[in-house]
Structure 1
Amino acid sequence: MPAHRVVVLAVDGVYPFEMTIPKRIFGTAGAPDGTPLYEVLTCGVHAGPGPGTVRTDADFAVAVEHGPELLSTADTVVIPPFVGCSDDSGDQWLPASLKDALARVAPGVRIVSMCTAAFALAAAGRLDGRPATTHWNRAEQFRAAFPDVELRPDVLFVDDGDVLTAAGVAAGVDLCLHLVRRDHGSEVANRVARLCIVPPWRDGGQAQYVEQPVPSSESAGTAEVREWALERLHEPLTLAALAGRARMSVRTFSRRFRGEVGLTPLQWVTAQRVAYARKLLETTDWPVDRVAASAGFGTGASLRLHLHTNLGVSPMAYRSTFRSGRQERSIPAG
């Protein structure tokens, strides 16, 4: 099958770091035989023959080989942020050239915005009635401008099927890795993360990056408890047990945990169990009940419920999609 085509749409004033994230992440993803899984191309918004020039927000411009007509061939379109896309003037959110370019995207094609490029998607009506995120520092402005969008300012990215939005800067890396994982499974995404020397996923959301008073030096964090819990996912991990390990009251522990991670302790535990169950489904032939027990879900029925809630598929459907005939590997329980 042909590689999945990702088209990055560069608008004048584009932020160069975010513009290059898709090529770095998707361009690193390959099949076991080395065949590229994605084709990443960049286009500008101005039609015309020959290479075009796109200004960046830095002291240089970039030459792009394609015009907006390339968008009609895309399987995924990525819009990086650009200067003006979150200015106070709504006229800057969706320049006419960008509006015309987006009209070339076929219905059902996956569209991704990074950082404040969510303003452009919202101004185009692509986010009405849908969940989305943007940089936390622009959340109130976004909420006031687009009340019909279900803004989620505390998360690193939002996946709403064919429309996905990422928070600021490096959250674009998180979202691209998520798409690789969604398309090809955890093993491929983890290999990409290792090659790019980035974490395969980051715990929590934007809450941990919002400006807050610096805690006192006496404040104990929750990182050690998280490491401890990851070694014991197969065991009962109650809120009281986690707080006891941290030598804190349940109330204090819950507050500090959410402040550091952006999730409640039990939400985080469930997310880690789902991730571990996915790994086991991809890399072993273990029965569903054994996978469930090893990941801490207790029963196959509980695993099915959580996997369907998080991924929309059953354990067997997930395994048949992502295992790809690999031989069973020995992974210790827990």
Structure 2
Amino acid sequence: VHYIQKPLPEGRIEVLMFSWRKEDDQDLGSPFLEKAKKADKNGIWPSIKSFACSRHALVFFCVTFAGVVLGLVLPPSSNLPKKYKYISNIIGYTYFVAWSISFYPQVWLNWCRKSTRGLSFDFEAYNFLGFLTYSVFNLCFYFVPAIQDEYRKTHDGNDNKVALNDVCFAVHALIITVITIMQMRYYDRYQTRASWVGCLLLGIGFLCIAGYAGGVLLLRRRLTWLGWLYFLSYVKMAITVVKYIPQAYLNYRRRSTAGWSIGNVLLDALGGLLSVLQLILDCHATGDWGGITGDPVKFGLGFVSIFFDVIFMLQHYILFPQPDFRYYEKKADVQEGNEYFEFG
């Protein structure tokens, strides 16, 4: 393990740690090398890894506990049989908590580093359009009676499967995405811009959404607002498939996942699994498997997010386990003694 210390403005010290190989000793030529070898021999790095694992376990426990409490306290869906109501409610609010707080590790990392290097702007731009469409979709399905009636007419009188936690998650995700974009513009405004591909795809997305809405207003007998909402869900699905690619490519190009929070990935994977599980349970409980086709965005989101989360885990833990500024960053305020750790 090789340590580099350098003074920062505001009287702070930044310690960066990355791995070394014996055959690289001649190239490193660092006066800190012997100190680093001694630190590693004393078992410092294993203790740090153990701390990281215990912290992740604590976060997962807190997420599960919060989901159970919310699921038991808040009213469950009235459309489900009694024996399934609270099980579905607990699963739903657990994935809501997991997905909701999955945005915060990245926001926290950006704030602590005072930089968003390593985070793809295209990824966040796609997120903005995606969560905007997802918020409109869920808000209309949950709060607009005309949409609910139109859904029942096309699904044999069954209610849609959008729950309150779906609405809360979508709106909350949109707000946090806006905050993250503001961080990117503030910390790295001159290096932060969307690629021409990103601008093109986002422009096409907005034009298609506006065009469909105009078609509904002009051709009400052929096009419906329910169809427009489904179109929004398909836009969200398309964005979900595309949005991870710029970040995965950026990690590959840099041979590093530094600046991209692994906590975000782990919580996102948990949320995706539970989201799919809740939808399958609800369909089984009501005997209406059309709930999957009636809410394709929720079902598809879970599977797509899991797929890309696996890719990011492979990048972080296997393909690029020792990126630049590899394992952790620690900033200690010398005057106040405040510390934070960010792993991955």
TM-score grouping bracket, smaller chain normalisation: under 0.3
The structure in which a higher percent of residues are helix is: 2
- Superposition TM-score, scaled by structure 1 size: 0.25
The structure in which a higher percent of residues are strand is: 1
Greater CA radius of gyration, 1 or 2?
Answer: 2
- Superposition TM-score, scaled by structure 2 size: 0.24
Greater relative contact order (CA < 8 Å, ≥ 6 in sequence): 2
